[in-house]
A and B are shown apart, each in its own frame.
Chain A
Amino acid sequence: MAAAGGVRSRLHNFLEGADIGGGRRLVITGCKTSLKKLVVENAVIVFGRRGCCMCHVVNRLLLGLGVNPAVCEVDEEKEEAVLNELSIVNGGGIQFPAVFVGGKLFGGLDRVMSTHITGELVPILKEAGALWL
């Protein structure tokens, strides 16, 4: 597993993250990547298809709230495998984009939007340690 986090400069990360709408881009290398580990180690992680605009929307929204989500862009070929593994981790069905908060599946764009409007999202993010203040 390769995490794009610690080794690069913040500026590099920021520039690279720009086209995914923000956040830290993670790369899945090989079949040995433990998605479960990624989910557990990151307060907020977003899984989505490469180049997906809905994923971009989720990331922009989270970034606007002050969250720095980990973003996992999945190639079309690996899509099925990733979806399957995430379903196992979650114990149920998954669709892209999939947002995990505090190690558990939070939902898709629909849920992020609704909870944001009702004001429930920010407290949940704070509780998971994704937001301070």
Chain B
Amino acid sequence: MGEDHGSSRHMSASQKELGDEDARVVRVGDTERTNERLEYAGNAVRTAKYSPFTFLPRNLFEQFHRLAYVYFLVIAVLNQLPQLAVFGRGASVMPLAFVLIVTAVKDAYEDWRRHRSDRAENNRFAAVLSPGAATQFPPTKWKHVRVGDVVRVTADESLPADMVLLATSDPTGVAYVQTLNLDGESNLKTRYAKQETLTTPPGQLTGAVIRCERPNRNIYGFQANLELEGENRRIPLGPSNIVLRGCELKNTTWAIGVVVYAGRETKAMLNNAGAPTKRSRLERQMNRETLFLSAILIVLCTVVAALSGVWLRTHETELELAQFFHKKDYLSDDKNSNYNYYGIAAQIVFAFLMAVIVFQIMIPISLYISMELVRLGQAYFMIRDTKLYDASSDSRFQCRSLNINEDLGEVKCVFSDKTGTLTQNKMEFRCASIEGVDYSDITRQQPAASDRIWVPKMPVSVDGELVELLTDGGETEQGRYAREFFLALATCNTIVPMILDGPEPENKVINYQGESPDEQALVSAAAAYGFVLVERTSGHIVIDVLGEKQRFDVLGLHEFDSDRKRMSVIIGYPDKTVKLFVKGADNSMFGVIDKTMNSDVVRATEKHLHSYSSLGLRTLVIGMRELSQAEFEEWQMAYEKASTALLGRGGLLRSVAANIERNLRLLGASGIEDKLQDGVPEAIEKLRQAGIKVWVLTGDKQETAISIGYSCKLLTNEMTQIVINSNSRDLCEKSLDDAISMVNKLQSLSTDSQARVPLALIIDGNSLVYIFDSYLEDKLFEVAIACDVVLCCRVAPLQKAGIVDLIKKRTSDMTLAIGDGANDVSMIQMADVGIGISGQEGRQAVMASDFAMGQFRFLVPLLLVHGHWNYQRMGYMILYNFYRNATFVFVLFWYVLYTGFTLTTAITEWSSVLYSVIYTAVPTIIVAIVDKDLGRRTLLKYPQLYGAGQREEGYNLRLFIIIMMDSIWQSLAIFFIPYLAYRKSTIDGASLGDLWTLAVVILVNIHLAMDVIRWNWITHVAIWGSIVATLICVMIIDSIPILPGFWAIYKVMGTGLFWALLLAVIVVGMIPHFAAKAIREHFIPNDIQIAREMEKSQDSHDATHPEIQLSTMARA
């Protein structure tokens, strides 16, 4: 149980031990000598990326990491060669410059804000001990604080750097810090100053030397030692002695510390990494189509180049005198020199390169920016969705990665953590088994508060019989053990009690602060039963035992670690007896319990544990041992030696702990309930209906996991369970083979899917150890994909990632991992989509995730509604962008065939450039942000509609080919209808070019309009507005007298033929798309189409019968 999150802390703990040679030496109060080699960073921080001088080069360098930009840069450069100058200087550079400038302005603004916050941060004041003085702390700017400085911090102040605590206002040296800014956890953490420095005035500490490890980003680990002047002893320092930059001092009047890491070397700054970058599947698929487009582009260019060669060859003799070619330069001195003509071969090469320049927008540069804008818009809507707001934690949905919104619509496999994700991670003490007696009859009543001084903040229901036993049965054997049991609960933990004034003056409310919700529940339970932890310092704790305050010395504490899966304390009683209390996971505890001592009790307890976990409770086993004086002294020696060791301290401490934690007497076991989050069973049911497989990966034991599986409807009674928990590789192989044959048998039995028996695979972490990294992996995969549900219990964090990888490697299924704790980080990062639950267990999961939200059940609207929308929108937008640019390029291409293959464009160069930037960019972005194929209600009512994304129906090669064929047809209509009408007429290039420009823009916008599903006012404005904007732009361009096409649009718009042609082009261009759409939607409708029609009839129904709508909603 506790391992689920205790382990995470230690998993991340620093593995390497501290050696002298690579230690950082800090001389307390002596910044000169500390920094004499100038190797330690100052405290000024700099999060800004650029300075005014480096901005331009660095920003450009970063932007050109995008391949598309390089492509356009190469084309712009090509265009500057005089032989290839297709566009004017301005027009050729404009699109790239536009894109670069927009991004640069955005970057500059962000960086300016970072500069501003850096400046504010660096100019804050801290009280720093002035050299030589004993107690004077003049204010110093943060940026001038250096390693070795002694700093005094008062309550609610932020810490300027990472400091080792020297003294605090608390006589025992305790300081409380809030690490909200660092890891987002709002509970208070306890930090201690060492006894040795507690009373020394800060000025006199000068000369003390701290040796600590090199700066690293592990915020939960710190290793150092302190050597006071004149003493040979080295005092060990650990993570509990350091306070970190970015934290705030709370509930402590003041604290004094010495700076060990400053500025960019602080742990906070080292952890200041951005969100992970992932690329969405659509974007990867899009690259395939981009390659196709490149191929088409090369074909077009080759055709033009080849034909131009043929043309030159056949006309070779004529070119000299033809007025439009004028091959020779008659005006130069050398009458035989050619003008701008280098032979057919060179002309072919030029034609090819010029064709690349003219047809460059075949590869849509604006698509990348459009996609980013669309994702921003989608993120905006997801963040603002009230249905994704969690009222209990007051948290909104968070989009941390802006690259994979559309992946949410294609998920096939969800990997979920259990604790804190499916459950609330709000632990409640439910059952106790003491000396083989089960006390789980909880009367749901609070003990009367009137006679109680101490009221725990977390209410706990108690078992009346047990309360009676504790208060009255003090003399019986059972009563004695019960008292020991609760004393163990109250002492064996790392909880800090915070005492607040209660509603009435005579009672006090105790708020138990700690990192583990399990421990909080246990301590609260102990308090409810009358063993109230009221005070904790580094050396002792005070417990109010049934109304009488008693002081216990904490002689030693072996912290929880994931190897031992238990923790222990050594407590000195007021009567000088010394006892060891141990609590831990059952399998680890039963290994160290002396079963011969009371075998009946052990057996009864095991039975209780089994029944607790079947109820879905998290279980813990408590044991104790009284230590003799000799044993204690032996232990104390080893403990002190281990904890001051510089090398291998962690390992030494573990072995000390393992040495003392043996031959324990079993006291009992506890059962803690972790309630399911709201709506989890319904959410899982919806996901299942949507064709998403749900895998649950948990650190809990098998029974607990199965029972939670039932209660959240993951497992049902008609399922056939395949359980694999074996202790060797051969056994694993055997059970896997059995499972495979069973799966095959069941599948052959049920050929018609009606009678299919759903399967559930339950596998434990032990078996996974043998399975991973061997040929058994494939067998496991075979079984796993045949199962509807997979439940993995007792899995370690890295195994979670391994399971995700198992699926990711072997299938193309989109995977999603959801979790809340640090132990889920690896899995979240491994999966295609990682979702963090911002819950009780801190924020590491959120920090590693792509999206973060407050509740598991939000997964349903997130995937089924937003995911579906995002996918449909993005898929259509990419296709449309390809189509839109291709249509334009094809129109240019047809014209080139009638210009002697010389890459002349009738459409003005400015219109070519503005086409994908202004003329047609806005509608597609707007439609991709606000259009939705189906309403939220429909999508949630029919989760199966999600299958459209899983089957990749919104974007695939078939759709791409269809839309490209459409594009060719439309370009033919756009080009040839005016061509045939204007053949042998007086039409000039500019007028025809304007007609083509308008025709293309109107046609592609109408194509978009035809595919829009919901017309709201924004869509109307965007689509019709962009046509109007195009007309205005064309008019503006044609109002410039120094352009050859001056006044053409006004002239041509005055002729009836122009309008007749425009109408003909639009109708002829749209007929195939319209007819195909009509056929597809009526005769081969997909589910989305049917659902749209249902929605439509529902709407008209609602309009006439509003009250029925309400009742159907309630029913649904």
Asked if chains A and B come from one complex, the reply is: no
